[in-house]
Amino acid sequence: MDSGMNKKWGRSITDAVKAAIEGSATIIQLREKDADTGDFLEAARACLKICRLHGVPLVVNDRIDIALACDADGVHEGQSDMPAHVARTLLGPEKIIGVSCKTQQHAQQAWRDGANYIGCGRVYPTNTKANNFTIALFDRECVTTETKRLHTVQTGRNEQ
Ligand SMILES: Cc1ncc(COP(=O)(O)OP(=O)(O)O)c(N)n1
Ligand SMILES: Cc1ncsc1CCOP(=O)(O)O
């Protein structure tokens, strides 16, 4: 979920979260790429309120400080973000930690570091992140079957 993207579509981030939950989402990630810290925190608090009402966990992309500030359920970190073992130390044993992985080595390291899930992709193009190469479905299977643990897969968006 991203406030800027949803604004373009004429809806608020909270409406988007409600719609996702009505559509059976079982976990929500708040991924604000351009928001100021104060706006990000405000969005996180608003989304968390809805998520808590429905018993759906909310993870914050990249920003451990935001996750700690609003007591979100966890974070999602990329390969060049906060290492998962440091995130685990900061967040404690109960929070959810997801890690973006494109190779078996990434995945094995993520599990060693205490990740709860890996995000393996992207499989289709997206324009929400530059310099992020696409991996084939076959590669994704290699990463995820090797590690036999919980993973997500990304479909990609291509918004104009
Ligand atoms: C579930 C999930 N998987 C992968 C990503 C991508 O994370 P990252 O590579 O760190 O890129 P940004 O999202 O930070 O642009 C993700 N966010 N969620
Ligand atoms: C950068 C990235 N890589 C895999 S998922 C993801 C986050 C957002 O993907 P999308 O733009 O498809 O919502």
Q: Show me where the domains of the chain are located.
A: 1-72, 77-160
Q: 87-119 pLDDT, tens per residue?
A: 999 999 999 999 999 888 998 999 999 999 988
ipTM greater than 0.90, yes or no?
A: yes
Task: Indicate the helix (H) or strand (E) that contains 26.
Answer: none
For the Cβ of 32 lying below 6 angstroms from any atom of ligand 1, the answer is no
Cβ-proximal residues to 93 (8 Å cutoff; 6+ apart), any chain = none
Under 8 Å between Cβ of 98 and 59? yes
Supply the pLDDT for residue 119: 87
Q: Which atom of ligand 1 is nearest to the CA of 129?
A: 15
Q: Which of 49, 52, 129, 157 does the annotation list as catalytic?
A: 129
In words, the CATH class of domain 77-160 is alpha beta
**Is residue 12 annotated as part of the catalytic site, yes or no?**
no
Q: Is the pLDDT of residue 160 over 50?
A: no
